[in-house]
Amino acid sequence: MFLNCKTWFSFHYGTYEPKKLIAHAKDLGIKSLALTNINSTADCWDFVDKCQKEGIKPIIGTEVRNEDNFCYVLLAKNNAGLLAIHTFLSNHKQKQIPFPAKPSFTVHDVWVIYRYEEHILQQHFGPNELIGLDIPHLNNLTWQLHLGLDKFVILHPVTYQDKTHYDVHRILRAIAKNTLLSKLSKSDYAGDGEILLEEQELVRAFARFPSVISKTMEVINTCSIEMEFHTDKNRKYFTTSAEDDSALLRKLAMEGCKVRYGLRNKVALERVEKELKMIADLGFNAYFLIVWDILRYANERGFYHVGRGSGANSVVAYCLRITDVDPIKLDLYFERFLNPNRTSPPDFDIDFSWQDRDAIFEYMFMRYGRQYVSLLGMYNTLQRRAIIRELGKVFGLPKEEIDRLVSAREWNAEDKFQRWIKKYGELLINFPTNISVHAGGVLISEKPLNQYAVTELPPKGFVTAHMDMFEADRIGLYKFDILSQRGLGHIKDALELIAKNRGKHIDIHQVEGFFNDPKLAKKIREADTIGCFYIESPAMRQLLGKLKCSDYLTLVAASSIIRPGVAQSGMMKQYIERYLDKDKVVYLHPKMKELLEETYGVMVYQEDVIKVAHHFGGISLDEADILRRAMSGKYRSENKFEILRQKFFANCRAFGYEESVTSEVWRQMESFGGYSFAKGHSASFAVESYQSLFLKTYYPQEFYVAVINNFGGFYRTEFYFHELRRNGGDIQLPCLNNSDYLTNIQGNKVYVGFIHLQGLEERFAHQIIAERKQHGPYRDLHDVFQRLHPSSEQLNLLIRIGALRFTGLDKKTLLWEANFKSKRVEKEIPVSLFSTDEPHFSLPTFEEDRLEDLKDELDLLGFVVGDFFELLEEKYLQGVIKAKDLPQYLGQQVKIVGRFVTLKETWTIKRERMCFGTFLDAEGDWLDTVHFPPVYKQYPFLGAGFYEIHGQVLEEFGVYSIDVSSMRKLGYKFGTKNR
The mean per-residue pLDDT over the stretch 930-941 comes to 95
| CA distance linking residue 424 with residue 140, whole number of Å | 37
Residue 396: count other Cβ atoms within 10 Å of its Cβ.
Answer: 11
Q: Tell me, rounded to whole angstroms, the distance of Cα 80 from its chain centroid.
A: 35
Which residues, 6+ apart, have CB-to-CB distance to 606 below 8 Å? 336, 628, 673, 676, 677, 678, 679, 681
The mean per-residue pLDDT over the stretch 4-20 comes to 97
Per-residue pLDDT reduced to its tens digit, 308-363: 878 888 999 999 999 888 999 888 878 778 877 666 667 788 999 988 999 999 99
Selection from 68, 160, 149 nearest residue 116 by Cα: 149
| CA distance linking residue 369 with residue 346, whole number of Å | 22
Selection from 321, 351, 683 nearest residue 488 by Cα: 351
Per-residue pLDDT reduced to its tens digit, 474-529: 999 989 999 988 899 999 999 999 999 999 999 998 888 999 999 999 999 999 99
Q: Tell me, rounded to whole angstroms, the distance of Cα 737 from its chain centroid.
A: 39
For residue 505, what pLDDT is reported?
94
What are residue 278's DSSP bridge partners? none
| CA distance linking residue 558 with residue 241, whole number of Å | 44
Tell me if residue 560 falls in helix, strand or coil: helix
| CA distance linking residue 472 with residue 470, whole number of Å | 5
Mean pLDDT of the chain, nearest integer: 90
Q: Quick one: 859 exposed, middle or buried, by C-beta within 10 A (0-12, 13-18, 19+)?
A: middle
Element (H, E) at 799: helix 792-800
Q: Are 936 and 945 in contact (CB under 8 A)?
A: no
| CA distance linking residue 953 with residue 12, whole number of Å | 53
| Helix orientation angle between 416-428 and 384-394, rounded to the nearest 10 degrees | 130
Q: Are 298 and 356 in contact (CB under 8 A)?
A: yes
Q: Are 973 and 872 in contact (CB under 8 A)?
A: yes
* Alpha helix positions (H), 315-441: 315-319, 357-368, 384-394, 399-407, 416-428
User: Is 831's pLDDT higher than 50?
Assistant: no
β 959-970/152-154 pair status? unpaired
Q: CA angle, corner 224, sides to 220 and 225, nearest 5?
A: 135
What are residue 914's DSSP bridge partners? 906
E strand spans, 824-958: 893-907, 913-920, 926-931, 946-956
The mean per-residue pLDDT over the stretch 355-373 comes to 95
The mean per-residue pLDDT over the stretch 908-923 comes to 92
* DSSP 8-class letter at 728: T
Tell me if residue 305 falls in helix, strand or coil: strand
For residue 293, what pLDDT is reported?
97
Q: Are 15 and 165 in contact (CB under 8 A)?
A: yes
CA dihedral over 544, 546, 548, 554, signed as positive or negative: negative
Q: Is 35 left (phi over 0), alpha (psi -120 to 50) or beta?
A: beta
For residue 673, what pLDDT is reported?
56
The mean per-residue pLDDT over the stretch 606-634 comes to 81
CA dihedral over 945, 946, 950, 954, signed as positive or negative: positive
* DSSP 8-class letter at 308: E
Selection from 725, 707, 711, 797 nearest residue 757 by Cα: 797
User: Is 977's pLDDT higher than 50?
Assistant: no
For residue 145, what pLDDT is reported?
47
What are residue 2's DSSP bridge partners? 33
Question: How many percent of the chain have pLDDT more than 70?
Answer: 94
Per-residue pLDDT reduced to its tens digit, 173-182: 999 999 999 9
For residue 830, what pLDDT is reported?
47
For residue 974, what pLDDT is reported?
74
What is each CA distance from 953 to 196, 528, 891, 965, in whole angstroms?
65, 21, 5, 11
Per-residue pLDDT reduced to its tens digit, 713-770: 899 999 999 999 999 999 999 999 999 999 999 999 999 999 999 999 999 999 999 9
Selection from 310, 384, 319, 300 nearest residue 344 by Cα: 310
CA dihedral over 325, 328, 333, 337, signed as positive or negative: positive
β 110-115/69-76 pair status? antiparallel
Main-chain dihedrals φ then ψ at residue 750, nearest 5 degrees: -115, 125
Q: Are 714 and 739 in contact (CB under 8 A)?
A: no
* Alpha helix positions (H), 503-639: 511-515, 518-525, 538-547, 552-561, 564-569, 571-580, 590-596, 606-611, 621-630
Confidence of residue 434 (pLDDT cuts 50, 70, 90): very high
Amino acid at 848: E
* DSSP 8-class letter at 128: T
Over the Cα atoms of the chain, what is R_g? 33
For residue 829, what pLDDT is reported?
43
Q: CA angle, corner 183, sides to 178 and 184, nearest 5?
A: 80
For residue 856, what pLDDT is reported?
94
| CA distance linking residue 289 with residue 869, whole number of Å | 56
Selection from 540, 578, 581, 577 nearest residue 561 by Cα: 540
Per-residue pLDDT reduced to its tens digit, 809-825: 999 889 988 887 776 65
For residue 832, what pLDDT is reported?
46
Terminal C-alpha separation, the chain? 64
User: Is 979's pLDDT higher than 50?
Assistant: no
For residue 840, what pLDDT is reported?
62
User: Is 144's pLDDT higher than 60?
Assistant: no
What are residue 485's DSSP bridge partners? 353
Tell me if residue 228 falls in helix, strand or coil: coil
Main-chain dihedrals φ then ψ at residue 175, nearest 5 degrees: -60, -45
Per-residue pLDDT reduced to its tens digit, 762-801: 999 999 999 999 999 999 999 999 999 999 999 999 999 9
* DSSP 8-class letter at 313: G
For residue 121, what pLDDT is reported?
75
| CA distance linking residue 384 with residue 421, whole number of Å | 10
| CA distance linking residue 678 with residue 275, whole number of Å | 19
The per-residue DSSP string of 184-212 comes to --GGGSPPTT-S---HHHHHHHTTT-HHH
β 69-76/373-381 pair status? unpaired
| CA distance linking residue 141 with residue 458, whole number of Å | 45
For residue 62, what pLDDT is reported?
98
Size of the chain, expressed as the number of residues it contains: 979
